[in-house]
């Protein structure tokens, strides 16, 4: 197969991004307004507000920190500003982002106040935008790309067009040894065997089914069902056969 290259941004840790964002990441919902304010002041930044943080603890809070640090570590992000009420929370997120080698700065609101944080974070964000603007796209092998897919909303054309088209694109990317992620594990329901049958390695196939079954068991332990929770508007529509977004990764 011929070699295929694209132009991307090579980050400090060797990962490759297509975008070149400076992310303003609030650690908790109380920091959202400050993060959004910075993004409005400094052109070239993107704020990532969310409704989480407060009244979370244990594994639930750890998961939030993992998601936020993963967002900042994403190769599509050139640098990150982390804003949080508590200094130690903000540093937990920022320290993980810093492991990638990209620039990251923390601005705690506690002891400083929103206005001072907005001012200081805006100045640093401006520096990061300058840093990002000096990055140049480089020709890289397609195999270095990691792509994530996510369903939008099921409608009458999903199974006929968008799902198969996305699946075909995924197959082509995998042919060139790129990596594709699919996150909605529960929506494999009804098509898990289709995906499993496409895995040539028996051990890997078994591992895939084990992960799927464990996820289904977890859903059921919470009093829900991977099948019954599908919206009734989908169940009674002509494209019910295609309800599973697992078709996103099949032809």
For residues 19-48, give the mean pLDDT.
Answer: 98
Statement: residue 246 has pLDDT above 90 = no
Is the separation of the CB atoms in 150 and 183 below 8 Å? yes
Statement: residue 251 has pLDDT above 70 = no
Task: Supply the DSSP symbol for 172.
Answer: H
pLDDT at 226: 60
Strand, coil or helix: what is 228?
coil
Q: Tell me: the pLDDT tens digits for 142-176?
A: 999 999 988 777 777 887 888 889 889 999 999 99
Is the separation of the CB atoms in 52 and 105 below 8 Å? no
Please state, as a whole number, how many other Cβ atoms lie within 10 Å of the Cβ of residue 73: 21
Q: Span 5-133: which CATH code? A: 3.40.50.2300
Q: Tell me: the pLDDT tens digits for 77-90?
A: 999 999 999 999 99
Is the separation of the CB atoms in 84 and 93 below 8 Å? yes
Q: Tell me: the pLDDT tens digits for 175-184?
A: 999 999 987 7
Q: In what order do the strands lie in the sheet with 104-108?
A: 45-47, 21-26, 77-84, 104-108
Q: Tell me: the pLDDT tens digits for 114-142?
A: 999 999 999 999 999 999 999 999 999 99
pLDDT at 93: 98
Please state, as a whole number, how many other Cβ atoms lie within 10 Å of the Cβ of residue 2: 4
Token readout for 220 is: 């059921």
The domain locations on the chain are 5-133, 145-249
Token readout for 73 is: 């570590």
φ, ψ for residue 6 (rounded to 5)? -135, 170
Instruction: Report the range out of 52-56, 126-130, 245-249 with the highest average pLDDT.
Output: 126-130
Statement: residue 239 has pLDDT above 50 = no
Q: pLDDT category, 53, cuts 50, 70, 90? A: very high
What pTM does this model have?
A: 0.81
Q: Tell me: the pLDDT tens digits for 183-197?
A: 777 778 888 999 899
Please state, as a whole number, how many other Cβ atoms lie within 10 Å of the Cβ of residue 77: 26
């Amino acid at each position: 197969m011929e070699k295929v290259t694209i132009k991307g941004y090579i980050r400090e840790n060797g990962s490759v991004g297509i975008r070149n964002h400076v992310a303003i990441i609030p650690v908790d919902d109380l920091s959202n307004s400050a993060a959004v304010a910075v993004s409005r002041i400094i052109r070239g930044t993107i704020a990532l507000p969310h409704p989480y943080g407060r009244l979370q603890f244990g594994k639930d809070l750890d998961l939030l920190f993992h998601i936020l640090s993963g967002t900042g570590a994403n190769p599509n992000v050139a640098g990150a500003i982390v804003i949080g009420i508590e200094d130690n929370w903000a540093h937990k997120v920022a320290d993980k982002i810093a492991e990638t080698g990209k620039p990251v700065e923390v601005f705690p609101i506690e002891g400083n106040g929103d206005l001072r944080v907005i001012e200081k974070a805006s100045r640093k964000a401006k520096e990061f935008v300058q840093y990002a603007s000096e990055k140049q796209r480089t020709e890289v092998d397609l195999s270095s790309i990691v792509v994530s897919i996510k369903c939008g909303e099921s409608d009458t054309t999903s199974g006929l067009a968008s799902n198969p088209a996305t699946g075909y694109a995924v197959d082509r990317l995998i042919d060139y040894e790129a990596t594709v992620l699919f996150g909605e594990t529960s929506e494999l329901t009804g098509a898990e065997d289709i995906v499993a049958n496409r895995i040539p390695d028996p051990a890997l196939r078994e591992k895939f089914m084990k992960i799927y079954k464990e996820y289904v068991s977890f859903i059921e332990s919470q009093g829900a069902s991977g099948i019954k929770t599908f919206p009734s508007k989908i169940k009674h529509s002509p494209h019910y056969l295609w309800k599973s977004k697992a078709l996103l990764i099949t032809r």
